[in-house]
Amino acid sequence: MTRIILIWAGIVAGALALIALGGLMLARSLFAEPGVPRLADARGALGEAGWLFVFAHPDDEITANALMARGVAEGVPVHLFTATRGEAGTQYPPVVDQPHLGIVREAEARRHGFSLGVASHTVLDMGDGQLRARPFDELVERVAAEIERTRPSAVISFHPESAISLHPDHMAIGEAARQAVEALGEEGPRLVYVLAPRPGLRQFGGERGQLIADIQPDPDFAVPAPSRDKRRAWRIHESQSRYLQATYGIGPRVMYALWTREYYAFSDSAD
């Protein structure tokens, strides 16, 4: 009798494991772009002179930290440019008096970049939430100056129209990166856009997510994104560490058990 009970217990446990696995695979499919190839030869696709990541705020770089880590691991100089200090953001949870938030968020971004092994990190104070209100030529000039300083073979930023979240600052920095690269012509670096998985946007993003998914270009390649690195990044960005819970109702552990790849498009195939 005991043997029969053990056999049935094993069968039930196996069935439950299969159900759980099936549920996990289904959930992951909501955060995946089917048919997108993994980036096999990063140096061949993006060059080896250096990769410059151009973002608006501290913590924006979390969207691309797997590709950043890939570059560092392969010996490519990785540079990070952050246009603002994030001083106007909401704290999740509160960690400092609001007037000093910019100091804290800049430090968090610099710590994250350091942990990834970036070769350099430029942080400007161009006004969180104010990038579209500033003279646009100034923003393009700042990005162009960073390209001139670092001489990268690839520039990675947000797709200007969808901007992964339709955030005005994201859109502004993406357009500034596009104009700065296009001004250099064929001799300039290759421009790459950071994207979000469209199935997840359509499933969980409401009308805004649907709009982003409709605007966003098809991804050209994917990069595996280890959950531990994403979760570590949110811990480093302590003032934003509960942002995912507050915004989407799930924390980094669950989010990155499902969202396991970063997606990118080359501008010359997207525009």
Q: In a structure prediction context, what are the per-residue pLDDT tens digits for the chain, which is 271 residues long?
A: 454 443 444 443 343 333 443 444 556 777 899 999 999 999 999 999 999 999 999 999 999 999 999 999 999 999 999 999 999 999 999 999 999 999 999 999 999 999 999 999 999 999 999 999 999 999 999 999 999 999 999 999 999 999 999 999 999 999 999 999 999 999 999 999 999 999 988 887 889 999 999 999 999 999 999 999 999 999 999 999 999 998 888 899 998 999 999 999 999 887 7
Rg of the chain over all Cα atoms, to the nearest angstrom: 20
Structure letter (DSSP) for residue 185: G
Q: What are phi and psi of 261, to 5 degrees?
A: -140, 145
CA 143, distance to chain mean position in Å, is 19
**Helical ranges in 121-225 per DSSP H:** 136-150, 163-166, 168-182, 198-204, 206-215
The pLDDT score that the predictor gives to residue 230 is: 97
Structure-token match 């039930």, residue found: 12
What's the whole-model pTM score? 0.90
Calpha distance 130→84 (Å, rounded): 9
The pLDDT score that the predictor gives to residue 27 is: 66
The pLDDT score that the predictor gives to residue 200 is: 86
The pLDDT score that the predictor gives to residue 26 is: 52
The pLDDT score that the predictor gives to residue 107 is: 98
50-270 in CATH: which number?
3.40.50.10320
Q: Where does residue 206 fall: left (phi above 0), alpha (psi -120 to 50 degrees), or beta otherwise?
A: left
Structure-token match 């499902």, residue found: 258
Structure-token match 């990038």, residue found: 131
The pLDDT score that the predictor gives to residue 38 is: 97
The answer to whether 66 and 39 have CB atoms below 8 angstroms apart is no
Would you kindly state where each structural domain of the chain is located, as residue ranges? Answer: 50-270
For 199-218, b/e burial (b = at least 16 CB within 10 A) is: ebbeeebeeebeebbeebbe
Task: Provide the greatest CA pair distance for the chain.
Answer: 81
Q: Print the SS3 string covering 50-113.
A: CEEEEECCCCHHHHHHHHHHHHHHCCCCEEEEECCCCCCCCCCCCCCCHHHHHHHHHHHHHHHH
Structure letter (DSSP) for residue 162: T
The pLDDT score that the predictor gives to residue 204 is: 79
